[in-house]
Structure 1
Amino acid sequence: MPMATKQIQRINVLHNGQPAQLAIEEIFDAVTYPNLQAITGQIEPEFANQYLGDFLQANLILGDQALATSLSKDDTLTKDAILTAMLQVATKTAAKLFQAFSSQLQVNVLADVFQLKTAPTQALHSRYVLLSNPTTEAKRVVLGINNFATASFTADHNQVETILIFDDAQLFDQLQANFTDQVLPLVTNLFSADLLKAAETQMKAAKDTKNPVVILDNETTDALVESELTELLATTVDEHVKAGVLDKQAPLAMRNATINRTRERESEQRLIMQRDMLLQLEKEAVSPRAEQPGMRAKSQIAKKVQAALAQAISPEDLAVEKKYTTYLYDRPMERDLANGQTGLYTPSDTGDFALPFGQRASEAEIKAGLKQIDAVMQGYQKYVVDYDDDYGKRFFEAILYGFTAPYLWEIRTKASLNPEDGNDVPNFLILGATAGSGKSTLLRIINQLTWGTDQAMIDFGTIYPADAAQRKAKTVQALEAYMKQDSTYPVLVDEIEPYFFQQPQYSRHLVVDTMNELINRPKAIAPLIGTTNYNGSFSMVREAARRSYYLQLDKVIDADQKEAATQYIYEVRQQLDNKLFKDFVVRMAEKLADDDTNWRQFGDNKQLDFLAVTRDIFRDYYQAAKMSVPSYLGDGLCDDFRETARNKWAKLYLTQMEDFVYRQENNSLVFDITKLNSFNGFGAEASEEYRNSLPIELCVDGINGKTGKFVEMKATDFFNWIGVEPNLKTTTHDNGTVKTTTTAKPKKKGFWARLFGGN
């Protein structure tokens, strides 16, 4: 018999030599041990917010991560310690960490109760935690914690942690002496005086706001980068040389920092450019010709820092960056529903401080908001050709998605039993629409109903000029940057060009990689709502389609009523406001705070309805306003991508039955997909469009069944999918070969009935 596998204990805690089960809050017991001193690696803001805010005094030092390759003494200084410190400054690590702290922790930092330090000229690999109580003289030492992050204490991560806890006064005293005498002389404050001054100014400006939160704008943090890099190179290094912390040859090592630089360039191009720029800046901070190199004057270094940062982003890229203007920050840690705090914040008009967002609406305001939406829907009902209730649901679905967007990342964590389930809460809404369907107007309406303006839209085709080098790749990079501004207000993009969906290097990079990042490490990344022209042949690579919510708006506004429709929607839009949305975010915040909220509701199509709670809130609205629930408020998600795919393949089969060859031994259909070419009247991308839209589960041998020249499909499943009853027809040719094909008649039910009528 095989031996039973012993369960692996990934988190091993030994307390005074004995195995123990201690929760994080028991290890970091701020009541018993109100003073904390520690050297750790990374610090996760969520961890700090939850476990470190109650210490009366906390002094933390962030050390370096040990590199896999050994470095020389000079390289440890120039390519590890100093470079790491410069990267922390250049990537705004301190500002981002400060902003991610809760308001309580931010106040603690400003009061000098919570200190964070770093060793800019040393590779600091020591790790220990010292906990003490000066009143009771209780002392505790914790070893083995590499990072202050929840993952270091969580058994469901594939990492092994051994945490040693000693209530040993003698060991404590030895390590505290090391901390005070050997480590503190090496460190500087992570939060610079300029950063703290900017934060304190913003706090004072928001003094009348409950739980004021500091959120620094780009202009402020850009200035901090310049001053902090200058201070690091002009002052810190020089002081450490004079104090004997660094060897006198350290400036020579810095001047030679770019010699024999042979690192493999496997990182992202942006990171490579950052490293090159910072190493060059490090070199140029040292006098180039002196026999005994020394640091340049502070004013000279400041000029070089300014010039280097100016070159880091081109005027063209800077103009692209500024096209994103709408910020709504979701901070669940600050949610205080008893005091009307939703956890959402917007910058003040001056940008000097953050304002809480969300406000309860009166019954009259709720009714007015519902009537505004209904007026929009009546416009589509009145002026769109062949409008019906089922079609109208798509317009309303887009509005519901826009309302829910700021909280989608939180909903994803609530609705997911496993990380992979996160794909069922897509961060992308794609409106596939024909020209003249009102899709751009719908995007503006969503903007008005949520933000109170229609100026936040971004035109995909003009993000970069038509003649810009690498325009396609850079456009996708810009969208990614817009989504990762820490804001959760949706990025609204009009007229996304077809190449984005059809070419995997673009849609996969943005859609798939972003969703993978979200489900593996939930955080606030803005959803994207985009329109694209639907010309009857829209397709998306399968990986991107699975992670997107696709709504098809393929009917047009009646050309004969275009003038009346334009005037009508203009008058409706003059009356739109976002009072209902401000109320909605309060109600959704309450749902998120309620442990009994059911986030895993499924529709008739067996899909997770990630908008189900939103629908419930709107039903409550209609009840409160004493209005009947409109027909365009659906009971579940629309599955338009699959419906479009079914329609596409059904039409192909009906018009080209002879090309679908029946293979009896597999009960399958074989189709030569290369026949979908321009010679036969198809577009240049037709074969890939059809291939992408064919579900893998219908193919023989899975993905292998839809690759190459011949596509092979399970016959029974394929016919059920497209809604056709097949009849086999065998033909014997004069040369003796036998070919079995099919004839068919449509099933008069379900999908087919919607296409062609019938019962």
Structure 2
Amino acid sequence: MDMDKLSLFSDNRIRYLNIILNDEIFEGNFKDLLKGFDELRAITFVSSPKTFFDLSKEFQKIILVLGIEDNDAIRSFDGINPESITDFLNDLDKSTIESIKDQKTEVRYAPLGNTIHSKIFLLRNKKQKRLMVGSANLTQNALSDNSQFEDILVYDEEYNPKIISIFEKRFEYIYSRTIDFIPERYKNSKEAVISFASAEDNIELIKELAEKNKLVGISSEVLEKITIPNFEAQSVNIDIEHRKAKISKKIFDEITKKTKNGLIFLPKDQIEKKKSAFIDLMEHKKDKEEGDARAGITYNPADGLLYLSDKTIYSKKIEDKNEIAFFLDKIEKFIEAYRIFTIGTEEEKFETQIRVFEAILYTFVSPFIWELRKMYVDEKQSEALRADIPIFLLIAGKTQTGKTHILEFLKVMLGHKFYIFDKEVKPQNIKAYLESKEVFPLLIDEVSKQYFSSTSDISYKGEEFVKTMVNYLKDTHPCVIATTNNKFGVGSQVVRRIYYLEMKVSFDMKKREEMDDYHAEIIGDLNNNFFRDFLYRMATKLNQGYNVSHDFLKIGREIFKEYFDETGKRIPDWFNRSVLDDYMTKSRNIWKMLYDTKKDGFKVKGKEIYVDTRKVFGEDHYEKENAKNFLPSSIIKEDSVVLILDREGFFHFIEYKEKIIEKLKRVINK
């Protein structure tokens, strides 16, 4: 975490973060408050373990007691769900893991039935002690002085020894009623982290977690009252955490039983007898039954590589340059088909070739899209930027534009280890896939427009679902690569979360037989070796540290350049250097045409444009609503009985320059 960015107060900014040091306003940098101390004892909510431990790197000893945020009762179940614990540990770097194993870092949490909302930070060295207490957790949002009002009181022992003593005793009191969050089996492991816990590992871990909660002495009355809040009717924004919480509650139900003296935890031997129930829970058997037949390709944070479910390495380097050249030739020939067998101008064919390569590139990068999103947020210190890297790729175009051919080619290049849907897929299944930890992409042919554009509150499709998935998926997850027709249209809040590519030309059906033979020859002897090498190279680059830019596919472009350089091949003209913005271009062209052909429906009045929707769209309500989806929300000033647009914004959007005579008429009319 770049703490230099955590400026507390600066000119022309609202003072969100208010720090009082020894009864005086502190106007320095938060980092300055930590300097000179070698031990940190903290009670705080932690949204990102990595961010917390990056912030506390300089301390030789750390005790972290995990708290929860307001109205976040589901977090109180994290301590009995192996998935939550491994997620926490997998967010840590190797040095932090080693610090935990060396007992220099300790992490604790409240037992079931208890929650901790305190925010206490105690710093000390051989000569000095410091207390920080207030409303702020030690999180990026709380300390970035950005839109969240927080207050922190800071006292040094020499200034106020009594308050230091009071909170030291308070910390020890809370600490004594907490449980060690790090399982003993993890501390004693030779690996940096156990990222591929088997069903047997998870059952052993559940036994340990049940025993810890049992030993802390939770009363039967408290156990009886433990419930998971019912979120079914609430916002989908909490649905991902809710899924975890439901698993935790099921685990809780399995490891406890009712007796005449109330609810108690089961002993280890009785938990062992319920092995099959835990296997179903931890392997998400229900999700598998819904059709997820992909190979288990998951990320291992210990080395940054991808592994199969049997723990063998999937990422694998190609040693023979001739083999790399073979695959490059195949890709070039496939893309060349969109010039040889299509109808259109040379410019349109060239634009299509660029988009075919972008689709291939996105698919190859997609198993690490989740990590690029995470790195981007950490680099820029803004959670809002997570949505700037989309987890959906849409390949749009009318019939016979070769969209399905792209999916078929990718299917072979990636080794048939994932789904390609040739019929309508259930949105519920897509949601389950996105929430899984497997990272292989999902290919869907002809996804329904309503999947992205529905405005209903259904938790597995529509605008809110897409925004939720892109904004809130933070752990490892797959991406969706789908095709759709060129009538696709969604609101601006959704489209910025999708990478949209529109095919420009159609295949010449008179050349169908020749084209099919050409395609069959390309894919006939392909396999997934090239894809596995690409993932190996990408993992290597990410492990060495990588700065993510606005062009989130830049790392993939760099790898392909390496391929061309190593094999002595010329970089093709269709090799694109930056991300595309086809949806904006499409939107601009739609409204530019409407304005040019139906100008009498647009009345300019001062700084506004009044759109007569009947003159522009007739009685076609669908066409009107669909066209509005192509307008940036910032341009629309009112959309009720009439549609009113911001004049300057609209003209800038359609790249229209008012003529002098038009400006004069407007001034005269005004």
TM-score by length of structure 2 reads: 0.73
Q: Find the counterpart in structure 2 of residue 340 from structure 1.
A: none
CA distance in 1, matches of 2:253, 2:539: 49
- Asked whether the 8 Å contact 1:428–1:527 carries over to 2, the reply is no
Letter of the structure 2 residue corresponding to residue 86 of structure 1: F
Q: 1:477 aligns with which of 422, 431, 454?
A: 431
1:631 aligns with 2:600: no
Q: 2:354 aligns with which of 385, 393, 399?
A: 393
Secondary structure at the counterpart of residue 612 of structure 2: strand
Q: Rate the CA distance shift 1:278–1:140 in 2: closer, same or farther, 3 A.
A: same
Deviates more, 1:102-111 or 1:687-696: 687-696
Deviation per residue, 1:636-689 (Å, 9 max, x gap): 5444334444665678789x96x9646586876623277465xxxxxx954433
CA distance in 2, matches of 1:630, 1:563: 27
Q: Find the counterpart in structure 1 of residue 3 from structure 2.
A: none
Q: Rate the CA distance shift 1:143–1:504 in 2: closer, same or farther, 3 A.
A: same
Q: Rate the CA distance shift 1:548–1:43 in 2: closer, same or farther, 3 A.
A: closer
CA distance in 2, matches of 1:612, 1:372: 22
1:571 aligns with 2:571: no
The structure whose RCO (Cα within 8 Å, separation 6+) is larger is: 2
- Asked whether the 8 Å contact 1:128–1:143 carries over to 2, the reply is yes
- Asked whether the 8 Å contact 1:428–1:549 carries over to 2, the reply is yes
Secondary structure at the counterpart of residue 456 of structure 1: coil
Q: Rate the CA distance shift 1:581–1:115 in 2: closer, same or farther, 3 A.
A: same
Q: 1:223 aligns with which of 199, 203, 206?
A: 203
1:693 aligns with 2:625: no
- Asked whether the 8 Å contact 2:392–2:497 carries over to 1, the reply is yes
State the 1:431 CA deviation.
Answer: 0.3
The count of aligned residue pairs is 626
Equivalent runs, 1:178-189 vs 2, <5 Å: 182-189=173-180
Deviation per residue, 1:335-356 (Å, 9 max, x gap): xxxxxxxx7321256228xx69
Q: Rate the CA distance shift 1:56–1:296 in 2: closer, same or farther, 3 A.
A: closer
Letter of the structure 2 residue corresponding to residue 374 of structure 1: E
Q: Find the counterpart in structure 1 of residue 363 from structure 2.
A: 402
Letter of the structure 2 residue corresponding to residue 12 of structure 1: I
Q: Find the counterpart in structure 1 of residue 4 from structure 2.
A: none
Q: Find the counterpart in structure 2 of residue 101 from structure 1.
A: 92
- Asked whether the 8 Å contact 1:44–1:148 carries over to 2, the reply is no
CA distance in 2, matches of 1:321, 1:283: 26
CA distance in 2, matches of 1:589, 1:258: 41
Q: 2:131 aligns with which of 113, 131, 142?
A: 142
Deviates more, 1:385-394 or 1:36-45: 36-45
1:317 aligns with 2:317: no
Deviation per residue, 1:69-127 (Å, 9 max, x gap): xxxxxxxxxxx7xx854344247332211111112222333344422222315444555
Q: Find the counterpart in structure 2 of residue 346 from structure 1.
A: 306
State the 1:50 CA deviation.
Answer: 1.9
Q: Find the counterpart in structure 2 of residue 159 from structure 1.
A: 149
Q: Rate the CA distance shift 1:213–1:394 in 2: closer, same or farther, 3 A.
A: same
State the 1:215 CA deviation.
Answer: 1.6
- Asked whether the 8 Å contact 1:10–1:161 carries over to 2, the reply is yes
Q: Find the counterpart in structure 1 of residue 249 from structure 2.
A: 278
CA distance in 2, matches of 1:108, 1:550: 44
CA distance in 2, matches of 1:220, 1:300: 15
Work out the percentage of aligned pairs sharing the same amino acid.
Answer: 16
Q: 2:468 aligns with which of 486, 491, 513?
A: 513
Q: Find the counterpart in structure 1 of residue 328 from structure 2.
A: 370
- Asked whether the 8 Å contact 2:223–2:264 carries over to 1, the reply is no
Q: Find the counterpart in structure 2 of residue 8 from structure 1.
A: 15
Secondary structure at the counterpart of residue 540 of structure 1: coil
- Asked whether the 8 Å contact 2:64–2:106 carries over to 1, the reply is yes
CA distance in 1, matches of 2:246, 2:454: 31
State the 1:586 CA deviation.
Answer: 6.6
Q: Rate the CA distance shift 1:49–1:309 in 2: closer, same or farther, 3 A.
A: same
CA distance in 2, matches of 1:537, 1:329: 37
1:251 aligns with 2:217: no
Secondary structure at the counterpart of residue 104 of structure 1: helix
CA distance in 1, matches of 2:132, 2:632: 52
CA distance in 2, matches of 1:447, 1:11: 55
State the 1:395 CA deviation.
Answer: 0.5
Deviation per residue, 1:602-658 (Å, 9 max, x gap): xxxxxxx5556755665565456544332212455444334444665678789x96x
Letter of the structure 2 residue corresponding to residue 347 of structure 1: Y
- Asked whether the 8 Å contact 1:255–1:283 carries over to 2, the reply is no
Structure 2 gaps of 5+ residues are 1-10, 660-670
Equivalent runs, 1:454-493 vs 2, <5 Å: 454-459=416-421, 461=423, 463-464=425-426, 472=427, 474-482=428-436, 485=437, 490-493=441-444
1:548 aligns with 2:506: no
Q: Rate the CA distance shift 1:389–1:123 in 2: closer, same or farther, 3 A.
A: closer
Q: Find the counterpart in structure 2 of residue 443 from structure 1.
A: 407
Letter of the structure 2 residue corresponding to residue 571 of structure 1: E
Root-mean-square deviation (CA), in Å? 5.2
Larger radius of gyration, structure 1 or 2?
1
Q: Rate the CA distance shift 1:151–1:531 in 2: closer, same or farther, 3 A.
A: closer
Q: Rate the CA distance shift 1:693–1:154 in 2: closer, same or farther, 3 A.
A: closer
CA distance in 2, matches of 1:350, 1:264: 35
- Asked whether the 8 Å contact 1:445–1:454 carries over to 2, the reply is no
Q: 1:60 aligns with which of 61, 64, 67?
A: 64
Q: Rate the CA distance shift 1:310–1:723 in 2: closer, same or farther, 3 A.
A: same
- Asked whether the 8 Å contact 1:396–1:632 carries over to 2, the reply is yes
Q: Rate the CA distance shift 1:455–1:390 in 2: closer, same or farther, 3 A.
A: same
Q: Find the counterpart in structure 2 of residue 209 from structure 1.
A: none
Structure 1 gaps of 5+ residues are 69-79, 204-211, 241-245, 335-342, 465-471, 601-608, 678-683, 727-759
Q: 2:612 aligns with which of 647, 660, 670?
A: 670
Q: 1:47 aligns with which of 31, 40, 51?
A: 51
Secondary structure at the counterpart of residue 147 of structure 1: coil
Secondary structure at the counterpart of residue 398 of structure 1: helix
Q: Rate the CA distance shift 1:154–1:720 in 2: closer, same or farther, 3 A.
A: closer
CA distance in 2, matches of 1:358, 1:138: 53
- Asked whether the 8 Å contact 1:131–1:140 carries over to 2, the reply is yes
Q: 2:455 aligns with which of 476, 479, 504?
A: 504
Q: Rate the CA distance shift 1:232–1:419 in 2: closer, same or farther, 3 A.
A: closer
Secondary structure at the counterpart of residue 495 of structure 1: coil
Letter of the structure 1 residue corresponding to residue 211 of structure 2: E
CA distance in 1, matches of 2:406, 2:453: 24
CA distance in 2, matches of 1:281, 1:584: 42
Letter of the structure 2 residue corresponding to residue 671 of structure 1: T
1:428 aligns with 2:392: yes
Q: Rate the CA distance shift 1:192–1:546 in 2: closer, same or farther, 3 A.
A: closer
CA distance in 2, matches of 1:25, 1:309: 49
Equivalent runs, 1:93-132 vs 2, <5 Å: 93-120=84-111, 122-131=114-123
State the 1:363 CA deviation.
Answer: 6.3
Q: Find the counterpart in structure 2 of residue 532 from structure 1.
A: 483
Letter of the structure 2 residue corresponding to residue 227 of structure 1: K
Q: Rate the CA distance shift 1:320–1:363 in 2: closer, same or farther, 3 A.
A: same
Q: Find the counterpart in structure 1 of residue 534 from structure 2.
A: 581
Secondary structure at the counterpart of residue 467 of structure 2: helix
CA distance in 2, matches of 1:417, 1:262: 33
